[in-house]
Amino acid sequence: MKLNYILFFIFLVFNISFSQLKYSGYGATGYRWHDINQLKEYNQEAYYEAKLETEMKFNDEISAEFDVYGDDEDHIIRLKEFSVKYKYSNLLRFRIGNIKKVFGIEQLTSRDEYFTIDDSYLKRKFSDLGYSGRSVSFMLYKNYDYEKDSLPFSYRIAFYKENSLNSGFFSRLSYHFKDIAYSLGYIFQHRIGEYKMDSYGFEFDIMYAANNFYSNFEVFYADDPNENIIRQSKSIEDFAKIFAIKSTNSYEFKIDKDFIKKIQPVLLLSYYAPDSKFLEYHTFQFLIGSDFYLTKKVKLRLNGDLLLTKSKFDDDYSTYDSRVTIEVFVRF
């Protein structure tokens, strides 16, 4: 409760003190059905959530971002992000605060810009392993603007420290050529405590965005710190390396009818092998869905997300945690 008052106070102070404020955010409500034993976790969920982002510009160089978020689970408003940005030059900017760790395209993207309703299976797995999520980080970066930039590259290098046992750094370098971007990513995680573990992840992706068509392809190769701690405890030196690929594709059809303005179908395919030495044990994700735009910022969404998991000892594929989601989404 105290946090709510503090957030409100900060919000008020910022409102009074700064004239250059920009608000944005989203609200979403929907229904989700999971393929989960309902005695483990209830398999139907009616949900709602909202996020408010406030961007404060102090001068041409310094700005800050302040995001609050709430959903039906907590029934309270939580501070999701606070970060300060400083522009030293066009080639070098700094950002410090509770920001997303970047390992792959999805973690560069905000929820309100997702083509899918939920995080992909790969992102959920990487979150479980500590390669995704938010941490207090210090980041050096450069964005790329096609119209303004003569140098066709962008980068991010960041050091992060979690309030847990993890710290580390991540980096991403992108080369932009017309509508295509080629990127390389690297993440390092240092885990302390009783079960110490250093883990690395590499990523390569190609992204295409033009003429209402969006497509990307990503390849990941990373240590599995959770599995490797188990192996280390048994003095097994052969550590597990994850191999994964993912592709997200979307096309925007303009309709311009009274009720529906445009339709944007999405197809996401991914393959995840928890141990690259045994590629026959894996999870496939087939996600198909569509956004139906009622206005530019209001859309109805439908996703069918099939997961097929074949584990080391089971000959059959399991559909555990496959899901169907419908949602109304409003962006502002």
Please give the Cα distance from 126 to 107 (Å, whole number): 10
> Is the four-CA dihedral 112, 287, 289, 184 of positive or negative sign?
positive
For position 37 contacting another protein by CB under 8 A, the verdict is yes
Three-class secondary structure assignment of 26-52: EEEEEEEEECCCCCCCCCEEEEEEEEE
Q: Which of 167, 232, 249, 276 binds another protein (CB under 8 A)?
A: 232
For position 313 contacting another protein by CB under 8 A, the verdict is yes
Please give the Cα distance from 76 to 6 (Å, whole number): 13
**Strand bridging mode 180-191 / 262-273:** unpaired
Q: Which of 68, 122, 129, 181 binds another protein (CB under 8 A)?
A: 129
Stretches 94-102, 172-180, 233-241, 296-304: which one binds another protein (CB under 8 A)?
A: 233-241
Q: Which of 148, 234, 254, 257 binds another protein (CB under 8 A)?
A: 234
What's the closest the beta carbon of residue 263 comes to another protein, in angstroms? Answer: 32
What's the closest the beta carbon of residue 237 comes to another protein, in angstroms? Answer: 14
What DSSP assignment string belongs to 71-89? ETTT-S-EEEEEEEEEESS
What's the closest the beta carbon of residue 162 comes to another protein, in angstroms? Answer: 14
What single letter denotes the amino acid at residue 30?
G
For position 73 contacting another protein by CB under 8 A, the verdict is yes
Cβ proximity to another protein, 45 vs 162, nearer residue: 45
For position 163 contacting another protein by CB under 8 A, the verdict is no
| Count of alpha carbons within 13 angstroms of residue 176, beta-carbon side | 17
Cβ proximity to another protein, 56 vs 129, nearer residue: 129
From the number of C-beta atoms within 10 Å of its C-beta (0-12, 13-18, 19+), residue 284 rates as middle
For position 296 contacting another protein by CB under 8 A, the verdict is no
For position 306 contacting another protein by CB under 8 A, the verdict is no
For position 230 contacting another protein by CB under 8 A, the verdict is yes
Cβ proximity to another protein, 24 vs 311, nearer residue: 311
CB atoms within 10 A of CB 310: 15
For position 75 contacting another protein by CB under 8 A, the verdict is yes
Nearest C-alpha neighbor of 104 from the set 268, 301, 309: 268
Residue whose entry in the numeric block shows the structure tokens 């689970």: 73
Torsions phi, psi of 39, nearest 5? -85, -15
Cβ proximity to another protein, 62 vs 76, nearer residue: 76
For position 179 contacting another protein by CB under 8 A, the verdict is no
Binding residue count for another protein, defined by CB under 8 A: 34
For position 50 contacting another protein by CB under 8 A, the verdict is no
Residues lying near another protein in the complex (CB under 8 A): 1, 36-37, 39-40, 42, 44-45, 72-75, 128-129, 195, 224, 226-227, 229-230, 232-235, 309, 311-316, 318, 320-321
